[in-house]
Amino acid sequence: MTSSLIKLLVSSVVLFAVACNSSGDNGIDCASNAIGKDSLVRVHKEQQRFFIQEQQVTHENLRPVIAKISACLKNHEWKEKWSLSVFSDKKLAGYKDEPNIIPFHNNDEWSKGYLAEFDASSHILTLNPVVKPETIEVSP
């Protein structure tokens, strides 16, 4: 009986270790939780991009979010490959050529609502990337 219990305990520990260290969705889930359900709009896994919604952004208030995401992805295949796009409204959060986004090009609503973008490979945060780009290097 003790031998069976030890085998079960060892199996559980091994499965837990594999799950925690895998390059699966654990890092993405961690990053999503770090962003917060009120801000996260979607994760585009193919392009390794997080879309979030915030009313106002500065490099000071984005720096902690970037640091948390970086920490979550430090052992993940997305490490230094991910991007973050910040929009003022959830309905605007998407790529400019997506069918549901195209209507928001009228009156430049999409471009004005695109508040910031971060590229983990270059560590560059761009505020107002379409209207009036301002770049800042951010070390996570």
The answer to whether residue 9 is domain-embedded is no
45/49 Cα distance (integer angstroms)? 7
The answer to whether residue 4 is domain-embedded is no
Q: Say yes or no to pLDDT of 9 above 60.
A: no
Tens of pLDDT along 86-121?
999 999 999 999 999 999 999 999 999 999 999 999
The answer to whether residue 61 is domain-embedded is yes
* Residue 52 near residue 85, CB atoms below 8 Å: yes
The answer to whether residue 16 is domain-embedded is no
Tens of pLDDT along 28-81?
999 999 999 999 999 999 999 999 999 989 999 999 999 999 999 999 999 999
Residues 6+ apart with CB under 8 A from 130: 110, 111, 112, 114
Report helix, strand or coil for 27: helix
- pTM here is 0.81
The answer to whether residue 18 is domain-embedded is no
Pull the structure tokens for residue 59: 């490099």
Domain that holds residue 121: 23-137
Other C-beta atoms within 10 Å of 83: how many?
Answer: 16
The dihedral over CA atoms of 99, 93, 69, 35, expressed in degrees to the nearest 10, equals: -130
Total domains in the fold of the chain: 1
